[in-house]
């Protein structure tokens, strides 16, 4: 499932941010690049696509499942700004993002 959130409009045409990045790196098979995406903006905002459910959510920790793994985010003053079936938008002080 693709999310509209990462579709940006620039100079009159629509492009997919993640597709643009992936297209720059041709050495990797793109079939393996559609599991999940995580964007950390300045340690203040974390955007996640492709999560498969929250496992922990507190004011200092967020953990969620991804395909073949789990992600743990540590920090402070977390607020889950937006949560959908597929995406997470978190803000707060992000100290660490670990993928297991």
Partner 1 sequence: MFRNRATIKVKGLNQERAINNLSKTLKIYNYKREEQNLSQFEVELKHTKKIKQMLEQEGLEVLSISHKGFYSKIKQSFLRYGILAGIVIIILFYILQYSFVWKIEVWGVTAQEKSEVIAFIEDNTKSNLKQKINTKELEIMVKNEFDFISSISVAIIGQSLIVNLNEAVLPEEMDENQSPIISDYDGMITKINLVQGTLNVNEGDIVQKGDILVYPYIIDSQGNKRGVKPQAEIIADVWYSSTERHYDYRIEEIKTGNKLVQSEVYLGNILIYKNGKDINFGDYVTETYTKPLTNNLILPFYLKKTIYYEIETKEIIQPFDDVKDEVISKARENILLFLDKNEIILNEKYTISEAGGYHIVNYIITTSKDIGG
Q: Footprint of partner 1 on this chain (CB under 8 A)?
A: 53-59, 78-85
Shortest distance (Å) from residue 86 CB to partner 1: 9
- 84 to 5, 15, 97: CA distances (angstroms): 11, 22, 20
Shortest distance (Å) from residue 62 CB to partner 1: 10
Nearer to partner 1, 33 or 89 (CB): 89
Alpha helices (runs of H) in 1-100, residue ranges in sequence order: 17-24
| Structure tokens, 50 | 């492709």
Nearer to partner 1, 23 or 81 (CB): 81
Nearer to partner 1, 12 or 53 (CB): 53
Q: How far apart are CA 76 and CA 4, in angstroms?
A: 28
């Amino acid at each position: 499932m693709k999310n509209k959130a990462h579709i940006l409009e620039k100079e009159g045409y629509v492009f997919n941010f993640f597709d643009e990045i992936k297209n720059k790196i041709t050495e990797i098979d793109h079939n393996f690049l559609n599991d999940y995406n995580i964007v950390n903006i300045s340690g203040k905002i974390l955007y996640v696509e492709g999560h498969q459910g929250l496992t922990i959510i507190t004011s200092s920790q967020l953990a969620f499942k991804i395909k073949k793994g789990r992600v743990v985010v540590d920090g402070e003053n977390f607020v889950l700004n937006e949560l959908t079936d597929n995406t997470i938008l978190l803000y707060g002080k992000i100290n660490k993002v670990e993928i297991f």
